[in-house]
Amino acid sequence: MIGRLRGKIRFLSEEQILVDVHGIGYLVSIPTSTRAQLRDDAEATLLIYTQVREDAILLYGFATLREKEVFELLITVSGVGPKLALSVLSTLAPEAFCQAVLQGNLKALTRVPGIGKRTGERLIVELKDRIAKQFPAWGVSQTVSERVSGVASEALDALLALGYGDAEAREALSQLQLDGTETLEAVLKGALGLLMRLG
């Protein structure tokens, strides 16, 4: 069972990468949160979840242990396969997902492509107690305002680095109505969309 891979990235798409480990290429499916941290032809280390099926051996890679833990938690839920679990991690940060489950926040969960009301409710029912036991260790106890402030601050820095003015960047972020469950990538995408329309 493969648990970790370290090698050069030889192919990089939105959902998959090819990791060259001493001449052997491993095709690995990844969430966009991991994708954002990788560069083509650069060295990378990934934590791996190996799924063995009758017709294939599939690899799923993660940049952090927290992502892998949430992925493994998700696929224990009936009706949630690896593809949907990756969709969750591509939409919500691990801490934001855990917070949404603990708070019973269906709105945040159904923002994930592929998760409707019924699946969202199942996630809350099946995972709430299990996440609560790991809640302190995973550092999900920040307040909503702290999470919003943190991601907005990171997004502001990124927008300034891209050449946008401080005032226009802050205005775009203020229009997004953040609730703290968004990933940095999602906030940047929304802000850039607003700035392009305004520009």
Domains belonging to the chain, first-starting first, are: 4-62 (2.40.50.140), 65-134 (1.10.150.20), 144-198 (no CATH)
Please report the pLDDT score of residue 157 as a whole number: 84
Confidence of residue 180 (pLDDT cuts 50, 70, 90): low
State yes or no: pLDDT of 149 exceeds 70: no
What is the residue-wise DSSP string for 121-153? HHHHHHHHHHHHHHTTTTT----HHHHHHHHHH
Confidence of residue 125 (pLDDT cuts 50, 70, 90): very high
Please say whether the beta carbons of 198 and 172 come within 8 A.
Answer: yes
Percent of the residues in the chain that have a pLDDT greater than 90, as a whole number = 40
Please report the pLDDT score of residue 69 as a whole number: 92
Q: Model-level pTM?
A: 0.67
CA 17 to chain centre: 16
Q: Which residues contact 116 (CB under 8 A, 6 or more apart)?
A: 110
Q: For residue range 28-70, what is the model confidence (pLDDT) as tens digits? A: 999 988 888 888 888 999 999 999 988 989 999 999 998 999 9
Where is pLDDT greater, at 80 or 14? 80
SS3 state of residue 113 = coil
Please report the pLDDT score of residue 142 as a whole number: 47
Residue 155 has a CB neighbour count (10 Å cut-off) of: 25
Please report the pLDDT score of residue 164 as a whole number: 84
* β-bridge mates for residue 45, sequence order: 6
